[in-house]
Amino acid sequence: MKEIRKAAVDNLELRKELTNYIDSIQRFLDNRTSHLSLHNQNFKSALPAKDEDMKYFFEAIHDIESEISAENTTAQDLKKHLNIQQFLKTHCQSRQYTFQVK
């Protein structure tokens, strides 16, 4: 999968095809997940952010912590940056069952 992602960076047509294919799967999963519930609360899911939105997001993150990059955003990576930890503590909510599909 790593090789495919790397190839998609250089090949615009491959990137477009992969994006379209993955988009249909994400919409299907979103539809199926929205029918599930726990303690009478429906599950919520969100479609992924677009590349332009992510670029804007990381520009804002760099105002808080300039050393963070899109490649280094695991929980372990973020624990190394005190400014971002303080920001997350005061401005964000953390949930146990959050996950993302790369």
pLDDT tens track for 41-76: 888 887 778 888 988 988 888 888 888 887 888 888
pTM summary value: 0.54
18-29, pLDDT tens digit by residue?
888 888 898 898
Does 18 or 95 have the greater pLDDT score? 18
The pLDDT, as a whole number, for residue 98 is 55
Burial annotation 42-73 (CB, 10 A radius, 16+ → b, else e): eeeeeeeeeeeeeeeeeeebeeebeebeeeee
Q: How far is 45 from 27, CA to CA, in rounded Å?
A: 10
Q: How far is 28 from 47, CA to CA, in rounded Å?
A: 11
Say what percent of the chain tops pLDDT 70.
93
Which token pair is 12? Answer: 């615009």
Q: Any idea where the domains of the chain sit in the sequence?
A: 1-48, 49-102
Q: How far is 9 from 18, CA to CA, in rounded Å?
A: 11
